[in-house]
């Protein structure tokens, strides 16, 4: 049985990768750092099938001990401070984890007796390209393995250091070390402060809130009005203000990203390590969409065609330096690995919205409990809606039964 060691198993990609490797018959060990809250939510359904060891990648001795104890065949380096915006406010931490942590893993492998029996995967990123791109004869922009890196954030600089380290350890020491230059990939498990999930989470909360309000007041149709930062719900008959919901606050909507589904992307990671020769590969769908286009797709799923009333542009979410355009050319990965994405942009957005709407519905039982115990005319508060619960999905109407406007 092959053994895989995953640094960053509690993250989006780590959870999908662990699932996939278990299906392939691997023994999987995941490294988690000690924190005061439970971070294993994404892997709770497979915890009984995997080994968990405690470790922080900034602690080199610990990383070395883990690699010596577990003796993996494949090592996946996914742990990172992965939020680009946060890297501007915490550049030192980002450097220590995202660059230094990878060096600790590479060194641990290099000094191991089993150095040449292990294969190593590094989670590189399209952020390495920053503001650079190449152009086709028709003037279409793209990035591939030959495009020059021009990082635009402390995160990207740290990732570039790690990327170059991987190349040096591969060429200098003959290690089987590959980097996947992965373009943005999202999912139902995406962290809630990345733009796609922030949008779909808001939609889920909004739908859940409206449905709860409708039940609370036994109303089919509301009147909605829009203040600067809130959506105000009024009774369609009496015009009485019932409650309000905060608008979705976002930054730059004009940047373009090449978005795929994480499930497809972890398959590419594994494929790289099955090759006899290690190498670097761009992994992307080849399609670029703006944040506006993601909003179009996500709001379309709940039958809102003009989302502009629901969104506020907030300078807080602008970055000191932006990456404006990312579109990957995956020709090498398709030709050599045989990798192709299976989940389209639209399906990705729809899956994420569906998931977040269902989750919010499940979380409304507490609201119902609170409602039945209190007066029928009370205001509905956000905190009530966000309480966890187990309401039967069957009781909930489909989104389009809840009128907007
Ligand atoms: P993620 O959800 O943010 O997961 C990051 C993981 O790293 C979490 O498991 C986190 O643990 C762990 N971690 C952070 N600091 C650590 C430390 N000091 N020691 C040990 N573990 C630590 O990221 P993701 O989206 O799954 O991405 C996986 C990797 O691919 C990252 O390296 C990311 O930079 C890179 N990448 C992502 C994308 C993308 O679009 N998703 C694209 C290109 C590259 P906790 O749960 O304890 O926080
Ligand atoms: O931003 C804009 C923001 O944070 C995407 C990471 O996984 O992919 C990810 O990095 C775009 C940017 O992802 C908000 O300015 C607007 O242009 O979802 P994001 P990212 O920065 O592309 C790469 C490949 C990685 O490697 C990273 O680890 O959306 N944007 N308004 C916003 N972004 C956020 N987060 N929040 C906003 O409110």
Interacting residues of 274 by C-beta distance below 8 A, sequence separation 6+: none
Closest CA to 327 of 55, 191, 133: 133
290 lines ligand 1 (CB under 6 A): no
Distance 167 CA to ligand 2 centre (A): 26
135 is catalytic: no
Q: Which ligand is nearest to the CA of 163?
A: 1
Closest CA to 15 of 262, 282, 194, 349: 262
Map tokens 């594994």 to a residue. 270
Is the model more confident about 250 or about 215?
A: 250
| pLDDT at residue number 365 | 58
| pLDDT at residue number 374 | 54
Structure tokens at 91: 């550049």
Give the integer Cα–Cα distance in Å for 175 and 78: 18
Map tokens 């003037």 to a residue. 139
- pLDDT tens for 265-319 read 999 999 999 999 999 999 999 999 999 999 999 999 999 999 999 999 999 999 9
Contact (Cβ atoms closer than 8 angstroms) between residue 177 and residue 188: no
Give the integer Cα–Cα distance in Å for 230 and 209: 13
Quickly state the pLDDT bin for 219 (edges 50, 70, 90): confident
Q: By alpha-carbon position, which residue is closest to atom 2 of ligand 1?
A: 11
SS (H, E, C) 168-219: HHHHHHCCEEEEEEECCEECCCCCCCCHHHHHHHHHHHHHHHHHHHHHHHCC
Q: By alpha-carbon position, which residue is closest to atom 25 of ligand 1?
A: 12
Contact (Cβ atoms closer than 8 angstroms) between residue 74 and residue 121: yes
Q: Which ligand is nearest to the CA of 86?
A: 2
Is the model more confident about 384 or about 388?
A: 384
Q: Which ligand is nearest to the CA of 52?
A: 1
334 is catalytic: no
403 is catalytic: no
Give the count of beta carbons closer than 10 Å to the beta carbon of residue 274.
9
At 240 the three-state DSSP class reads coil
Give the integer Cα–Cα distance in Å for 48 and 176: 30
100 lines ligand 1 (CB under 6 A): no
Over range 104-132, report the average pLDDT: 98
| pLDDT at residue number 385 | 37
184 lines ligand 1 (CB under 6 A): yes
The answer on pLDDT for 160 being more than 90 is: yes
The answer on pLDDT for 398 being more than 60 is: no
Residue 197 CA: which ligand 2 atom is closest?
18
Q: By alpha-carbon position, which residue is closest to atom 27 of ligand 1?
A: 13
Q: Which ligand is nearest to the CA of 190?
A: 1
**Catalytic entry in 19, 74, 127, 391:** 127
Structure tokens at 265: 């992307």
| pLDDT at residue number 333 | 98
Distance 136 CA to ligand 2 centre (A): 26
86 lines ligand 1 (CB under 6 A): no
Distance 92 CA to ligand 2 centre (A): 20
13 lines ligand 1 (CB under 6 A): yes
Q: Among residues of the chain, what percentage have pLDDT more than 70?
A: 90
| pLDDT at residue number 45 | 98
Radius of gyration of the chain (CA): 23
| pLDDT at residue number 250 | 98
- pLDDT tens for 51-95 read 999 999 999 999 999 999 999 999 999 999 999 999 999 999 999
Contact (Cβ atoms closer than 8 angstroms) between residue 29 and residue 100: no
Ligand 1 pocket test: pick from 13, 35, 44, 281 the residue with the most ligand atoms within 8 Å of its Cβ: 13
Quickly state the pLDDT bin for 373 (edges 50, 70, 90): low
């Amino acid at each position: 049985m092959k053994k895989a060691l995953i640094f960053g198993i509690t993250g989006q990609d780590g959870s999908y990768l662990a699932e996939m490797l278990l299906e392939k018959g691997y023994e999987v060990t995941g490294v988690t750092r000690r924190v005061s809250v439970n971070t294993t939510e994404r892997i709770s359904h497979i915890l009984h099938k995997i080994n968990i060891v405690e470790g922080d990648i900034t602690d080199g001795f610990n990383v070395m001990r883990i690699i010596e104890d577990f003796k993996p065949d494949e090592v996946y380096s996914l742990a990172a401070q992965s939020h680009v915006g946060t890297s501007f406010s915490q550049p030192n931490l980002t450097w220590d984890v995202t660059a230094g942590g990878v060096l600790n893993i590479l060194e641990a492998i290099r000094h191991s007796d089993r150095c040449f029996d292990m294969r190593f995967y590094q989670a590189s990123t399209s952020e390495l390209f920053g503001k650079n791109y190449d152009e086709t004869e028709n003037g279409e922009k793209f990035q591939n393995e030959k495009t020059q890196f021009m990082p635009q954030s402390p995160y990207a600089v740290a990732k570039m250091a790690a990327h170059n380290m991987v190349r040096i350890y591969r060429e200098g020491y003959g290690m089987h070390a590959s980097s996947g230059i992965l373009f943005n990939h999202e999912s139902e498990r995406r962290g809630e402060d990345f733009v796609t999930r922030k949008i779909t989470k808001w939609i889920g909360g909004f739908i859940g809130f409206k449905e709860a309000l409708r039940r609370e007041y036994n109303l089919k149709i509301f009147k909605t009005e829009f203040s600067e930062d809130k959506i105000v719900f009024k009774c369609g008959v009496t015009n009485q203000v019932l409650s309000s919901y905060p608008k979705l606050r976002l930054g730059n909507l004009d940047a373009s990203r090449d978005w795929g589904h994480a499930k497809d992307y972890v398959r590419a990671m594994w494929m790289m390590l099955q090759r006899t020769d290690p190498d670097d590969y761009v992994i992307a769908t080849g399609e670029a969409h703006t944040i506006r286009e993601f909003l179009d797709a996500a709001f379309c799923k709940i039958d809102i065609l003009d989302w502009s009333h629901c969104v506020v542009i907030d300078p807080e979410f602008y970055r000191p330096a932006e990456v404006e355009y990312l579109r990957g050319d995956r020709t090498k990965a398709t030709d050599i690995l045989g990798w192709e994405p299976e989940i389209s942009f639209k399906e990705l957005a729809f899956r994420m919205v569906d998931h977040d709407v269902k989750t919010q519905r499940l979380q409304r039982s507490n609201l119902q409990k609170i409602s039945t115990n209190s007066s029928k005319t009370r205001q509905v508060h956000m905190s009530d809606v966000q309480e966890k619960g187990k309401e039967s999905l069957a009781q909930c109407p489909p989104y389009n039964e809840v009128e907007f406007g």
